[in-house]
Amino acid sequence: TVRMYAPPGAGAQPIARDAPPSTPPGAPGPPGGKVAPGGSGGLRPGSSPHYALAQGAGGGGGDLDQPLSDKFHQLAITSAPGSGSSSTPQPEQIPRPQPNELAECLRWEAQGGQKPHDQCHPKFMRMTVNAMPISTSAKTKAGLPLGAIIQPLARADDVEVPIVNFGQSGVVRCGRCRTYINAFVNFADGGRKWRCNVCGKLNDVPADYFCELDGDGRRRDRMERPELHMGTTEFVAAAEYMVRPPQPPVFLFLMEVSYAAVASGMLRCVAATLQHTIQHLPGGERTQVGLITFDSTLHFYNLSGSTPQMMVVPEIDETFLPMPTDLLVNLQEKQEQLGSLLEKLPTMFASSQSVEVALGPALRAAMQVVQHVGGKVHLFSCTRPTIGEAKLKNREGGPRPSKENSDGKATSLLQPDCDFYKNMAVECSKQQVCVDVWSCGGSYTDIATIGQLAKHTTGSVYHYPGFSDVTQGEKLSRDLQHNLTRDQGWEAVMRVRVSRGLRISAFHGHFFIRGTDLLALPNIDEDKTFAVEIGHEENALTATTCCMQAALLYTTSNGERRIRVHTIELPVTSALATLHEAADVDACVNLIGRVAVDTAMSSRLLDGAEKIQNSCLEALRAYRLLCPPQAKTTSQMLLPEGLKLLPLYALGLMKSTLFSQAPDVKADERSHLLYLYSTASCSTATAMVHPRLIQVYPPQSQPPATELPRHLPLSTTNLSASGVYLLDDGQAVTLWLGHATPADYMQAAFGWPTLEGIDASTLRLLPPEATELAAHTHALIELLRNSRTGGWMGLRITKQGQADGAFQRALIEDQTKQMMSYPEFLVHCHRFILSRAS
């Protein structure tokens, strides 16, 4: 579908710099030539593209520049009111997400006899474009990001993941490229041979795997073997996949006990959460646990006896263990002792006055404890390390930089301050050790540097700025519970294979690469997501389809070695229109954002923002060139249906805290979000760039709510001074109160009659059973929370007129001091496209 908008007017300025983005080499000229059969692939409005082979797709033939003329007459196109004179698009025409729409990929039922479950479910592997350009030239001319978002252990309650055991004979694999047998291989020679769908090699079928073929050339037992008809399969790994006995789940808790950790309540909150959660840790009788605390000294705990024994090591220049064994114990055997220690821990350090922190030596000690077995280290810190090895300076301090130097200052704070933490992470990865960073600092802690521990070990970075047990304790506690009890694997590696003629050109996420393409993942959980970019190795693909397979070799918490395999098949097409209609906007934005994040962290923040803008402009420019001449002569803005939200999401990403130039953005806050986005699923990433805004009061339905009301555009024009609203950005739920919020609501929701003279952040909602409006507000909050996966979203309360930069940045359709409004950005995009098209 083509969308049309009113022509641009004067006054729009580029988002990032005065000079418009340059057109990449090889950009196409004006379209021309005959339309190839199959046209645009026939997508219905509002749906995601299918994976079946479109007519006219495949190797050879076809015109790369074919326009959309054979489809255009079927599309409803109307001119905007005021066309020719309006300076911005009409409000009712501006593309926005549909009501209650979350980032989801809904596949059509595949064509050509394939069943939907032949393909890997998009929760596990999601393509940015659900068709493959035939050549590098076609990819460049399409102007689309080409890659996939992979979440190998994603929680998918509605998707069956079958477990297949080949026994001692081993999993059937290609003898050349080592691709695993899957639903898209072809059998030949009466079933005695199978052709690899990645490299094309004709392999022998093992005698004990042989089955006759039916009249269509398919195995007669196809529907009895999950690996031959399902896109996701988990194989039981044979002994050849083990270099040592399966690793047990190991949890080592490394906790700061300085004055700040005690005073903020972090120590009490973490200890209490662990005390009530350790019994639910995965692994059963195999699970091992340990505890180290630190401030200016190191404290070890011997849990092997009937009573925990603390050993203090004041020497931090040369780290050593006071006892080489018994610092890790079996959880089932010592759960009572560990629980007793956790209960006493806050009291033991209640009078701590230590303000110095020796994090580097503490990490070395933790590594010595777990290096012989591997496992997961949970680092809980409040204070920037100030003594011993790997101490860090306060880089955020000093005078505020000038406007001209603000980008340089922000960029420098994204770079690691020293190599210790990355080097430590690389060593951890080699020993199958993962590190999760829990930062609860009240001031600058240098997450950019310390977060390297998580980045290279498949870990996570959590940040609770200005932590207070009263306001953020529940958030930290629930996040920790989810982290410890979620589905996860150990000592994992992952390899992604693509068909002959293609290659994986880049990886994005938290991992360490061994060799050129093997991702080392000491720990892998249901929330971890990776992204890959795909390129071409040859001038043109010759096959009509191509395949992509992601294989994760890991150990389950129960000690079984498994191989989870996700496989997808795509049509190869020479039709650029097919590529645009096969685009998945949520996956595209996820990949565009990851590339921009890596650019910002390795180069400059502004360069990352320009990557986002350029990617958006290039995709829209390429699409306009495909449209028939009669559409382009109207000077309307043309958007493909599948990418109609790309400008909105791109603008939201540039305005988000990740790339915002606002002076109130703290370095630790930005670094945390950059690490978070690097591992975010499509739904999480979309929520970060385009939050949901709903009205709480006046109620849109009879209280209490049973479903979410329609989503409001993210603009102050939709906020009433007498209204109450909820904003969900995937990380927190913010309750916004207009300055004229009626006393009836205030009394019913908070037991307080007015907002006058109150810091809204100190307000607390009454329990749901207190009043009908309190129940209504709680119900809406829970509906928002339940619609998200991953960590728990805490509640923030703010009010109109109260300084809240995060809430203001979420209103991405409004103009700011640094950036233009959404309508203005559409104008800017249109002017750029017209200038390049002419």
Does residue 569 fall inside a structural domain?
A: no
CB atoms closer than 10 angstroms to residue 754: 12
Q: CATH number, domain at 703?
A: 3.40.20.10
Are 475 and 444 within one domain? yes
pLDDT at residue number 68: 52
Does 403 or 542 have the greater pLDDT score? 542
pLDDT band for position 403 (50/70/90)? low
Are 475 and 540 within one domain? no
Backbone phi, psi, residue 307, to 5°? -125, 130
Does residue 24 fall inside a structural domain?
A: no
Beta pairing class for 561-573 and 545-556: antiparallel
Tokens 């209650």: give the residue: 100
Beta bridge partners of 462: 438
Structure tokens at 633: 């002569």
* Residue where a domain terminates, one of 517, 535, 556: 556
pLDDT band for position 702 (50/70/90)? confident
Are 221 and 370 within one domain? no
Which among 49-58, 153-162, 560-569, 638-647 has the top mean pLDDT?
560-569
Which among 93-107, 305-319, 372-386 has the top mean pLDDT?
372-386
Are 215 and 303 within one domain? no
Residue 207 CB partners (closer than 8 Å, separation 6+): none
pLDDT band for position 19 (50/70/90)? very low
Closest C-alpha to 259, from 344, 343, 357: 357
Does residue 581 fall inside a structural domain?
A: no
Are 292 and 239 within one domain? no
From residue 188, alpha-carbon distances to 182, 327, 663 in Å are 15, 58, 65
The residue-averaged pLDDT of 233-243 equals: 91
| Residue 431 confidence (pLDDT) above 70 | yes
Does residue 683 fall inside a structural domain?
A: no
Does residue 734 fall inside a structural domain?
A: yes
pLDDT at residue number 405: 61
Structure tokens at 616: 């958006």
| Residue 27 confidence (pLDDT) above 60 | no
Are 216 and 266 within one domain? no
Does residue 273 fall inside a structural domain?
A: yes
Dist. CA 262–CA 438, nearest whole Å: 15
Closest C-alpha to 812, from 598, 685, 653, 584: 653
Where do runs of H (alpha helix) occur along 321-384?
331-348, 359-370
* Residue where a domain terminates, one of 523, 539, 556: 556
| Residue 399 confidence (pLDDT) above 90 | no
Q: State the virtual CA torsion across 63, 68, 73, 78 in degrees, nearest 10.
A: -160
Structure tokens at 329: 């114990």
Does 329 or 72 have the greater pLDDT score? 329
pLDDT at residue number 33: 30
Dist. CA 255–CA 582, nearest whole Å: 48
pLDDT tens per residue, range 704-729: 888 999 999 999 999 999 999 999 99
Are 273 and 325 within one domain? yes
Are 380 and 469 within one domain? yes
Beta bridge partners of 293: 255, 299
Are 212 and 234 within one domain? yes
In the chain, the amino acid numbered 236 is: V
- Segment among 63-77, 206-220, 334-348 with least mean pLDDT: 63-77
For the range 754-761, what are the long-range contacts, defined as Cβ-Cβ under 8 Å and sequence gap of 24 or more?
755/799, 758/799, 759/802, 760/797, 760/798, 760/799, 760/802, 761/471, 761/796, 761/797, 761/798, 761/802
Does 139 or 405 have the greater pLDDT score? 139
**Domains: count for the chain:** 3
HEC assignment per residue over 148-196: EEECCCCCCCCCCCCEECCHHHCCCECCCCCCECCCCCEEEHHHCEEEC
pLDDT at residue number 129: 98
pLDDT tens per residue, range 263-293: 999 999 999 999 999 999 999 999 999 999 9
Does residue 82 fall inside a structural domain?
A: no
Residues 746, 750, 751, 753, CA torsion sign: negative
Instruction: Note whether 421 and 385 are within 8 A (CB).
Output: no
In the chain, the amino acid numbered 295 is: D
Does residue 676 fall inside a structural domain?
A: no
From residue 397, alpha-carbon distances to 104, 356, 411 in Å are 42, 18, 15
pLDDT at residue number 98: 76
pLDDT at residue number 328: 97
Range of the domain at 530: 163-243+489-556
pLDDT band for position 304 (50/70/90)? confident
pLDDT at residue number 324: 81
Conformational region of residue 10, where left means phi above 0, alpha means psi within -120 to 50, and beta covers everything else: beta
| Residue 184 confidence (pLDDT) above 80 | yes
pTM to 2 decimal places: 0.89
HEC assignment per residue over 78-115: CCCCCCCCCCCCCHHHCCCCCCCCCCCCCCCCCCCCCC
The distance of Cα 372 from the centroid of its chain, to the nearest Å, equals: 32
The residue-averaged pLDDT of 65-87 equals: 39
The chain-wide mean pLDDT, for the chain, equals 87
pLDDT tens per residue, range 601-638: 999 999 999 999 999 999 999 999 888 877 776 667 88
Residue 167 CB partners (closer than 8 Å, separation 6+): 238
Are 450 and 378 within one domain? yes
Structure tokens at 509: 């996420």
Structure tokens at 570: 């795509």
Question: What do you get for the CA distance between the two ends of the chain, in Å?
Answer: 23
Does 360 or 704 have the greater pLDDT score? 360
SS3 204: strand
Structure tokens at 542: 């010759």
| Residue 144 confidence (pLDDT) above 60 | yes
pLDDT tens per residue, range 667-688: 999 999 999 999 999 999 999 9
* Residue where a domain terminates, one of 556, 579, 602: 556
Closest C-alpha to 570, from 216, 84, 54: 54
| Residue 587 confidence (pLDDT) above 60 | yes
Are 288 and 384 within one domain? yes
pLDDT at residue number 83: 41
| Residue 170 confidence (pLDDT) above 50 | yes
Q: CATH number, domain at 268?
A: 3.40.50.410
Are 730 and 695 within one domain? yes
From residue 688, alpha-carbon distances to 230, 488, 628, 674 in Å are 32, 24, 36, 11
| Residue 740 confidence (pLDDT) above 50 | yes
CB atoms closer than 10 angstroms to residue 177: 16
| Residue 161 confidence (pLDDT) above 50 | yes
pLDDT band for position 21 (50/70/90)? very low
Does 834 or 526 have the greater pLDDT score? 526
Closest C-alpha to 21, from 609, 458, 587: 609
pLDDT tens per residue, range 749-773: 999 999 999 999 999 999 999 999 9
pLDDT at residue number 462: 98
Q: CATH number, domain at 178?
A: 2.30.30.380
